[in-house]
Structure 1
Amino acid sequence: MKPPKVLPVVGWRELVHLPELGLHSVSAKIDTGARTSSLHGTVLEEFERDGQKYVRFAVDYERQHVRQVCEAVHVDVRGITSSNGETQYRYVIKTPLKIGDVEFRAEISLADRSDMKFPMLIGRSSLRRRFVVDSGYSWLQTPEMTVQKGHKP
């Protein structure tokens, strides 16, 4: 039997990056109870480019009064059951996600997370075989300088 691969450790919250969407240092809650990762986004329109389906959506940072408009290939519209047991149909996109030094393509559902503390939730399908979670810590994959400079993730 070969020894288990040593995986990077994430805390219960981390700053993540979605480089193709132009979203950097997004505070995310790590949630092993959720299967799919989720991003706060308001769908603006669906369109086609080069024979592929795309979705254009807005990510609002209400505290900074900033709206970032993003486009991504949309892979599906799926019924996603939230923590309260309610099923919502959501657009699911596939885009690179970077946590610490690890970058990979992740499936992310677009949802209204305006009532949530974190604009993004990282589910277990993004964590599987890539990270180990230590729920007693935060910001383990966040450069110390970011936290020390008073940047409140």
Structure 2
Amino acid sequence: MSKSKDLSVVGWRELVHLPELGLHGVPAKIDTGARTSSLHGEVIEEFERDGEKFVRFAVDFGAQHVRQVCEAVHVDIRGITSSNGETQYRYVIKTPLRIGDLEFRAEISLANRADMRFPMLVGRSSLRRRFVVDSGYSWLQTPEMKTKKGHKP
């Protein structure tokens, strides 16, 4: 078992990267209360390629007026209970996620997060045995944000 001193420290918000999806510098809320990570994505279609199930989805960055269309292996459709207690059935993809210098494969549900402040939420399954969270700070794994905005909440 890893000791916390061996783990990287993240703040309550970080910029994360999903390199296989072409998404870089995605603002993410670090949320130990959520089991599964979630990404704002509108599912466009489900399809097969070489016998594997894929999903094509769009990620909208409203402030920049940008829509990125992504494709990923579709792992599952699961009932995910949101913070308001409602269960929604969502597509779950598995793709590399990079936080700071650490890159690993993560399961991420696709959800409508248009009303949320952050387009991505990083849940405890992705954090487990990799990171500890210092909720009093922001951008601990995002040096460019520390210098730009400071790293206090």
CA distance in 2, matches of 1:3, 1:119: 30
Q: Cα RMSD between the aligned structures?
A: 1.4
Give the length in aligned residue pairs. 148
CA distance in 1, matches of 2:18, 2:114: 19
Unaligned runs of 5+ in 1: none
* 2:16 corresponding residue in structure 1: 16
The alpha-carbon deviation at position 63 of structure 1 amounts to 1.0
* 2:88 corresponding residue in structure 1: 88
Amino acid at match of 1:148: T
Q: Which is richer in helix?
A: 2
TM-score (norm 2): 0.93
Over residues 61-120 of structure 1, what are the superposed CA-to-partner deviations in whole Å (9 max), with x where a residue is unaligned?
Answer: 111111000000000000000000000000000000000000000000000000000000
Seq. identity, %: 83
CA distance in 2, matches of 1:25, 1:63: 14
CA distance in 1, matches of 2:2, 2:126: 22
Residues 37, 3 of structure 1: alpha-carbon distance in 2 compared, 3 angstrom cutoff = closer
The alpha-carbon deviation at position 148 of structure 1 amounts to 3.5
Amino acid at match of 2:76: D
TM-score (norm 1): 0.93
- The reply to whether residue 123 of structure 1 matches residue 123 of structure 2 is yes
Structure 1 runs (4+) deviating above 2 angstroms are: 2-5, 146-150
